[in-house]
Amino acid sequence: RGLAMAEEAAVRAQAETVRRLKQDKADADEIAKEVAKLLEMKAQLGTDEGKHKFVLKTPKGTRDFGPKEMAIRERAFKAIISCFKRHGAEVIDTPVFELKETLTGKYGEDSKLIYDLKDQGGELLSLRYDLTVPFARYLAMNKITNIKRYHIAKVYRRDNPAMTRGRYREFYQCDFDIAGQFDPMIPDAECLKIVHEILSDLQLGDFVIKVNDRRILDGMFAVCGVPDSKFRTICSSVDKLDKVLWEEVRSEMVAEKGLSPEARIFSILEQRLEASEEKIRTTETQVLVASAQKKLLEERLRLISELWDAGIKAEMLYKKNPKLLNQLQYCEETGIPLVAIVGEQELKDGVVKLRIVATREEVRPVARWGWLCDPAAQPCRPCGVSSKFCSTPYSSSLPHAASWSPEVLLCPALGSFLSHHLLELLSSGAWSMQG
Amino acid sequence: MPLTAALYPGQGTRDHAPAQAALRERLLSAVVSCFKRHGAAAIDTPVLELRETLVGKYGEGAKLIYELKDQGGELLALRYDLTVPFARYLAMNKITKMKRYHVAKVYRRDNPATTRGRYREFYQCDFDIAGQFDPMIPDAECLKIVHEILSDLQLGDFVIKVNDRRILNGVFDVCGVPESQFIPACCTIDKLDKIPWEEVRSEMVAEKGLSPEAADRIGEYVQLHAADSHRVTPISVPCLSFQASGEKLRTTETQVLVATPQKHLLAARMKLISELWDAGIKAEMLYKKDPKLLKQLQYCEDTGIPLAAIVGEQELADGVVKLRDVATRKEVDIPREKLIDEIRRRLEP
C-alpha cells in the first residue's frame, strides 16, 4: 500500500517499542537510543506532512453519502427497482466513460458541460452525460432491435456554478426505456403506469404527470412559424424556460441548499424524514450478542458465529469485557431490537437470556410453547437433542411477547435451537424493525 | 483492518449485458448481505476526487490513476480505490469509529507502457472496521466474513491468506534487509502473485538495491509457501458452476405472463396485468394488439417466466382466468377473484 501508511505504521511500531522498553524498565541507554530513533522518524514524517495530509473536500458539485443518506437512497431505489422488475425490465450497465466521439454532437448547447479525461495516450474519453446516448450506443453495438431495460447510475455534468447555484455535478439517473417497434401506445401506456406506481410508492404526496412527444412540440413550432432549421435550438430554450421557472419555486424551499431537479425526490424524502422524527436505521442488525460478566469473549464469539451461520444479522462490541449497560446503550442508539446475553449462570444452566430492547422485557416462554421444565424428558424437535428442559416441539404460532411467563429455559444445544427460534421470532413480526 | 475483494468485469465487451448484470447482481447481493449481517453501514463517495487527495497515497500505483483534463476548474481524478476516499470521509466528518462497507467501481489504467492507455473499470467490495478496539476481535470478524462470503459463493475449496505489514517487516529484518529498504522491498514482494520469484528477486537486487544474500534469504521464506499459490478468481468460476448445474440464468424476475388467445382483447389484457402489478406481482405482456397465443407461450419459455395467465372470450364470460404452468404445460381455470392468491401460493418457495 502507500508509502504514507507504511511510514506511519513504522512510527507506531517504534512508539510501541519505546513504550514496552519503558514498561520493562530496560537499560536507560537503550531507551534513549530508541527514543531518539522515534523522534527522528516522526520528524521525517512531519516533513512529508503537507504531502500526505488529507484535503478535506469532495470536488465541487459532488457529495459523500453517509449511512443515513444511504438508507434513504436504498429506500427510494428499492421502490424504483422493484417497479422496474415488476414490469419485466432487464438491467444493463455501461462504463462511466465513453469515447469522446460517441458523445460529440449529441447534446447541442450542453456539450460544454461534458467532463473530458486528460489525454494520457490512447483513446480520448469523456464521462457520460446521461444514460440515453450510452443506451443507443449499446443497442447499435449489439445489433439489438427490441429491449426493455432499466439503468440506474450516476451521470456527470460540469454545470457552471455561477448560473445554477450549488447544482450537483454528479447525480443519479434512473432510466427506463422500451426500445423497438411495437403496436402503438402499448409501451407508452406501460411507461405512464410505471411513473404512477413509483411516485405513489414513494409517498411524496399528490403529483402531476406531464406527457410530451417531440413531434407535438415540433408541430407547435411549425404552426407558430419557426423554420425547420431552428427547431433544435428553440427546443433547448423552451427546456430552459422550465428550469428558470422551477428555480423560482425552488428558491422558496429554503431548507435544502444544493437542490437540483434530478436530486429532488431524494431531497424530499430527506426532508420528510426529518419532519417525521422517524429514526432511520443505518444497519439492519437484528441481535446484539452481549455478555454480562468478564471473561466471556469466547462464548460471545461462539454464539454470534452460530447466529451468523443461521443467517441472522448480529453484532457484538469489540471489547473483551464490555459493561452490560454500554452494550444495551449501543442497542438503543442503533435500533437493534433484540439482545442475547451470555452470563456465567446462564452458561451453567445452558440458556441464553433474550431481551427485547425497546420494552426491556426478557423473552419468557409460555407453557404451551413447551419450554418450561418438564422432568419427563422428550426430544426437542428442532435440534433433536433430548433434554430435561424441552417437553414439546415448538409451535409455529408465536405468542405475543408480553404474555410470556417466568423462566427462560432453552435446551443445551444452545446455538442451533436459539437460532431456530430466533429466526421464527424475527419472521413472525413480533418485533417490527424500522428502516 | 481492510478487506477488499476485486471483481473483474467479464472478457469481451465492457458493457454489462443483462446476463452479466444478473450474475453480477447475484454475486454482489451475496457479498452485501454478508456485510449487512455483520452490522456494517453503507457509504458512497463520488467517483471524482481532487487530485491532491489522491497524490502521494499510492506509491508506484500513482501512474495508473486516470486524471481529468484541466477544464479551468479544480484538478480532478477518478478514484483508484475505496480506502483513500474512506480515510478522507473519516477525516472530514471527524469520525473515530466506524464499521462500513462500500461496493463500487474503481478506475485504473492498465500498464500504460505496454497497452497504450487501455482503461480499466472494476468493482471493489470494501469492508473496513476503523477505530481503536480490544485487539484482534475486529480482525477475527473480518476473517469470518471472508469465510462466509467465499463459502456462500460456492467456489469450491479456498485458502485465506492473512498478513500484517509488521510480520513482513519482521521477515525482512531477519533476512538482513536494512529498515530504509523495507518499503521498496515490500512493493516488489507484492508483485509475487503476478510474476515469478526469479523476476521479483532480480528487481529487488537490481532496482531496489537489496544485497543478493538478503534477497536469497527472503527467497527461502517465499519457497516455504510457494506450494499454495493457487489464486481464486471470483467471477469466472460462478459462470462455470451455472453451466454445470444446467441452470438457466434469467435476466428478469417476471413471474407471470398475461396472455390473450383471440383478437380484440388488448383492454382485457391490460386490465388483468394492472391488477397483478397492483398486487405486487411481477408480470409482463407482449406489446402486440393481437398476439398469437403460441408466440406468447414461446416468450415464456425463452425468458423463463414460470406462469401464464390466459384470458380469452370464454374465460371472460365465465369470470375465470386460465392459469398455465409453463414447465409442465398444465392448465387450470381459476376464478378471477382467487387468481392472485393462487399465483402467490404457487410462487412460494
Condensed to tens digits (0 to 9), the pLDDT of residues A169-213 reads: 999 999 999 999 888 888 888 888 889 989 998 988 899 998 988
Phi first, then psi: what are they for B14, rounded to 5°?
A: -90, -15
> In A, which residues are within 8 Å of B14 by CB distance?
94-95
Partner B contacted by A281 (CB < 8 A): no
E-strand stretches of A67-168: 90-91, 97-99, 125-127, 147-156
**Residue B294 contacts residue B320 (beta carbons within 8 Å):** no
Query: Left if phi > 0, otherwise alpha if psi is -120 to 50, otherwise beta: which for B280?
Result: left
**Residue B251 contacts residue A90 (beta carbons within 8 Å):** yes
Closest residue to A64, CB basis, from B74, B89, B179 = B89
pLDDT at B332: 97
How far is CA B220 from each of CA B175, B192, B202, rounded to the nearest angstrom? 10, 14, 15
**Residue A348 contacts residue A334 (beta carbons within 8 Å):** no
Query: What is the per-residue pLDDT across B59-69, written as a single tens digit (0 to 9) for each?
Result: 777 888 999 99
Q: Do A62 and B48 touch (CB under 8 A)?
A: yes
Higher pLDDT among residues A382 and B128, named by residue:
B128
> In B, which residues are within 8 Å of A183 by CB distance?
287-289
Is 80 exceeded by the pLDDT of residue A282? no
| Residue A27 half-sphere exposure toward CB, CA atoms < 13 A | 3
Q: Average pLDDT in the A105-109 region?
A: 84
Q: Which three cell numbers stand for residue B321?
A: 382466468
DSSP type of residue A116: B
pLDDT at A392: 36
pLDDT band for position A2 (cuts 50, 70, 90) = low
Residue A114 CB partners (closer than 8 Å, separation 6+): A103, A107, A126, A127, A129, A156, A157, A158
CA distance A361 to chain B (A): 23
pLDDT at B41: 87
Query: What is the per-residue pLDDT across B4-61, written as a single tens digit (0 to 9) for each?
Result: 222 323 222 256 677 777 778 888 988 998 888 888 889 999 999 999 999 888 877 7
Is 80 exceeded by the pLDDT of residue A130? yes
Q: What share of chain A is helix, strand, coil (3-state, %, to 5)?
A: 45, 10, 40
Flag whether B341 is marked binding.
Answer: no
Query: What is the per-residue pLDDT across B129-161, written as a single tens digit (0 to 9) for each?
Result: 898 887 788 888 888 888 888 888 888 888 898
pLDDT band for position B291 (cuts 50, 70, 90) = very high
The CA-based angle B31-B32-B38, given to 5 degrees, is 100
pLDDT band for position A242 (cuts 50, 70, 90) = low
> In A, which residues are within 8 Å of B66 by CB distance?
117-118, 120
pLDDT at A252: 40
**Residue A132 contacts residue A148 (beta carbons within 8 Å):** no
Higher pLDDT among residues A375 and A71, named by residue:
A71
CA distance A13 to chain B (A): 8
pLDDT band for position A215 (cuts 50, 70, 90) = confident
Partner A contacted by B237 (CB < 8 A): no
Q: Which three cell numbers stand for residue B206?
A: 537490481
Q: Helix or strand or coil: residue B247?
A: coil
CA distance A111 to chain B (A): 13
Nearest to B148 by CA among A377, A307, A275: A307
How far is CA B96 from each of CA A105, A284, A330, A355, B81, rounded to the nearest angstrom? 48, 21, 16, 29, 21
pLDDT at B190: 82
Looking at every residue in chain A, the average pLDDT score rounds to 74
Partner A contacted by B62 (CB < 8 A): no
Using CA atoms, how far apart are residues B252 and B305, in angstroms rounded to an integer? Answer: 9
Interface of A with B in 306-325 (CB under 8 A): 308, 311-315, 318-320
Using CA atoms, how far apart are residues B136 and B74, in angstroms rounded to an integer? Answer: 41
Q: Average pLDDT in the A403-418 region?
A: 34
Q: How far is CA A264 from the centre of its chain?
A: 19
pTM of model > 0.90: no
DSSP type of residue A258: T
Nearest to B280 by CA among A206, A87, A432: A87
A254 class by beta-carbon count within 10 Å (0-12 exposed, 13-18 middle, 19+ buried): exposed
Using CA atoms, how far apart are residues A4 and A49, in angstroms rounded to an integer? Answer: 9
Tell me which chain B residue has its CA closest to the CA of residue A49: B56
Strand partners, B103: B125
The residue to which cell 510501541 is assigned = A16
Partner A contacted by B196 (CB < 8 A): no
Partner A contacted by B267 (CB < 8 A): no
Q: Average pLDDT in the A59-75 region?
A: 90
Q: Average pLDDT in the A68-80 region?
A: 90
Strand partners, A288: A315, A339
Partner B contacted by A156 (CB < 8 A): yes
B193 class by beta-carbon count within 10 Å (0-12 exposed, 13-18 middle, 19+ buried): exposed
The residue to which cell 537490481 is assigned = B206
Is 90 exceeded by the pLDDT of residue B343? yes
DSSP string covering A192-220, please? HHHHHHHHHHTT----------HHHHHHH
The residue to which cell 382485457 is assigned = B268
CB atoms within 10 A of CB A190: 23
Q: Do A91 and B36 touch (CB under 8 A)?
A: no
CA distance B292 to chain A (A): 14
CA distance A52 to chain B (A): 6
pLDDT band for position B105 (cuts 50, 70, 90) = very high
DSSP type of residue A58: P
Pairing between strand B76-78 and B48-50? antiparallel
Which range is most confident: A261-270, B60-69, B332-341? B332-341
Is the ipTM higher than 0.95? The answer is: no
E-strand stretches of A67-185: 90-91, 97-99, 125-127, 147-156, 170-179
Q: Which three cell numbers stand for residue A73?
A: 437512497
Nearest to A365 by CA among A375, A357, A353, A383: A353
